[in-house]
């Protein structure tokens, strides 16, 4: 289906690998000009080579730092010709301590990766998105919707906060024609993912968990998340904002 994204400009944070890289590929396929972002310049250069598109640029920076987020956004807008239509906030990390071992510093680190990376970038990009009546999509997690016993508490709480932010900021942004939504993935398999490591270590036990917990009894793919991100960012969803959309194969019980 044509998503009417051709000619749009997009900044995708956390896109040097994994889900973010696949999202960047999807937006390029839809005819967008794309800026990819990550903390490591060499990884970004490798990602750009893998994408192999002429309408791609890159900006290195850690968007969990507000000053760096502002720099990333300003550079991206300049590279995109002065406008920004779509912002995808994909930075995040599910790695943390075991439940009951949380510390102040760990809470700070996980919130920086999973919440502030989004709020910093959105704050920096707000005026450009208002000018374009643009769209924001945050990549969250089903861990922020329902307690997943195996998930780190810090990660789950940070993603729940991100979901609350998306719902809360939708009305203020909506006054200016800017939409914001979130995709909440479940168990997604891609190179380097936790599920890739689990399957390598013990494929039978891993798939037994998936078959028990997931209605469709399969792992998702990064393209499943990318397709939803593109759909939500597109004009096809012009009357959709403030939503959190699970892409989990039917794992959530509530």
Q: Which range among 2-16, 114-128, 174-188, 206-220 shows the weakest confidence by mean pLDDT?
A: 206-220
Residue range(s) defining the domain that contains residue 98: 9-188+221-247
Catalytic residue among 155, 165, 176, 245: 155
Per-position DSSP letters for 144-192, written without gaps between them: GTS--TTS-HHHHHHHHHHHHHHHHHHHHHHTTT-EEEEEEE-SEE-TT
Mean pLDDT of the chain: 94
Whether 155 is catalytic is yes
Q: Domain with 130 in it: what CATH number? A: 3.40.50.720
Burial 103-133 (b: 16+ CB within 10 A, else e): eeeebebbbbbbbbbbbbbbebbbebbebee
Given a cut of 80, whether residue 74 has pLDDT beyond it is yes
**Residue 197 domain-assigned?**
no
**Residue 193 domain-assigned?**
no
**Residue 194 domain-assigned?**
no
- Residue range 192-245, pLDDT digits in tens: 777 677 777 787 877 888 888 888 988 889 999 999 999 999 999 999 999 999
Query: What domain count does the chain have?
Result: 1
């Amino acid at each position: 289906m044509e998503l009417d994204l051709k000619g749009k400009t997009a900044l995708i944070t956390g896109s040097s690998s994994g889900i973010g890289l696949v999202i960047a590929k999807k937006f390029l396929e839809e005819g967008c000009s794309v800026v990819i972002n990550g903390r490591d310049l060499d990884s970004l250069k490798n990602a750009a080579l893998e994408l192999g598109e002429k309408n791609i640029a890159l900006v290195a920076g850690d968007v969990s730092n507000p000053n760096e987020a502002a720099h990333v956004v300003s550079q991206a807008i300049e590279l995109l010709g002065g406008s920004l239509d779509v912002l995808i906030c994909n930075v995040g990390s599910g790695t943390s301590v075991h439940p009951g071992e949380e510390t102040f510093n760990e809470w700070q680190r996980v919130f920086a990766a999973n919440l502030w990376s989004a709020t910093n970038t959105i704050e920096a990009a707000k005026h450009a998105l208002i000018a374009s009546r643009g769209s924001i999509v945050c990549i969250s997690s089903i861990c922020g919707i329902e307690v997943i016993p195996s998930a780190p508490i810090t990660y789950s709480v940070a993603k729940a906060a991100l979901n609350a932010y998306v719902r809360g900021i939708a009305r203020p942004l909506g006054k200016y024609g800017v939409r914001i939504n979130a995709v909440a993935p479940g168990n997604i398999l891609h190179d380097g993912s936790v599920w890739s490591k689990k399957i390598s270590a013990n494929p039978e036990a891993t798939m037994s968990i998936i078959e028990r917990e997931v209605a469709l009894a399969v792992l998702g793919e990064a393209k499943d998340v990318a397709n939803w991100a593109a759909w939500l960012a597109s004009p096809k969803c012009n009357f959709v904002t403030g939503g959190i959309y699970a892409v989990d194969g039917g794992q959530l019980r509530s």
